[in-house]
Structure 1
């Protein structure tokens, strides 16, 4: 009986470990003007706050979202798209380095950055690629397609707001040269 309890406990512990996800707090992920990490705009902020920080967009248009079943306002900054629903920032899709992402007064990153940290996993099988990290977050080396974009590696951060788990995520996509080519806040 004692051994079955220990076995059950270990099996549960291993199962929970296997289902752990990388999480980040949405209030710590800001969009910033390049070179200025002292102020940023986060999900839920208004379009006026965005313009105060990033300046006037190249274009503003309406965008119908089938998921939200509503019309969003799309603010374009170069190849970067920022979406608002009822004047609240809800999603963004960044494809050029004209906007930085990160924590205000903290670590930032942008499209074009490269994977630089390769950590060898002590349980790694011979012949497999080392586990990569981008700013401390694990990166999966598995090719795929997301949002009609082909990628060679990806990092997906599940989002929370304090202790509340959200249905949103931040997705970082890397090409075969380990260059970050897409950063998106998705719901």
Structure 2
């Protein structure tokens, strides 16, 4: 009986030793970031939670509108199209977006915005180890975004590299995430959020 107890204790200790170590998840902070016109200077932004009237005031009249059913929310969202870009409004408020062309951008200021056509730069040896890589987009570090250089497909778009992570707003963590897709030339081809 003592041998069985000892064996069970050893097995339990081995199981604990092989369990993955929990790490704190880092979130991409969107505080102060918003959607803006991609080609025009200015500081007006459309932020998460803003209503459709603010969208029209900041971005202009959409090129078309549509409706899309969100199964999880059991509700229908209004979709504003700005050329090929899509903004999703649920209960009248912005909840998600998908940027497919450079007429809109997402960021704090026009010169620090994420936009279609921006180039991803890989800088070797500037992180903790010489073999580590640091990623820059428009000379701004991709802080708290996970970069995966394996090709794949997302949202029916083939990509060579993807940067992604969960979103937070200041100190408030969200269930939403952001995803930036890059082509073989390291240029942004899609920027999207999802709840």
Give the alignment's TM-score, normalised by structure 2.
0.77
Gaps of 5+ in 1: 1-10
CA RMSD of superposed structures (Å): 2.4
Mapping of residues 58-137 of structure 1, within 5 Å: 58-104=63-109, 107-120=112-125, 122=129, 124=131, 130-134=133-137, 135-137=140-142
Secondary structure, counterpart of 1:168 in structure 2 = strand
Residue 5 of structure 1 corresponds to: none
Q: Distance in 2 between matches of 1:150 and 1:20?
A: 30
Residue 31 of structure 2 corresponds to: 27
Q: Distance in 1 between matches of 2:155 and 2:192?
A: 10
Residue 36 of structure 1 corresponds to: 41
Q: Which runs of 4+ in 1 moved over 4 A?
A: none
Aligned-pair CA distance for 1:160: 1.2
Residue 187 of structure 2 corresponds to: 179
Aligned-pair CA distance for 1:20: 5.0
Aligned-pair CA distance for 1:105: 6.8
Residue 62 of structure 2 corresponds to: 57
Q: Distance in 1 between matches of 2:70 and 2:88?
A: 10
Q: Distance in 2 between matches of 1:132 and 1:142?
A: 15
Residue 168 of structure 2 corresponds to: 160
Q: Which has the larger radius of gyration?
A: 2
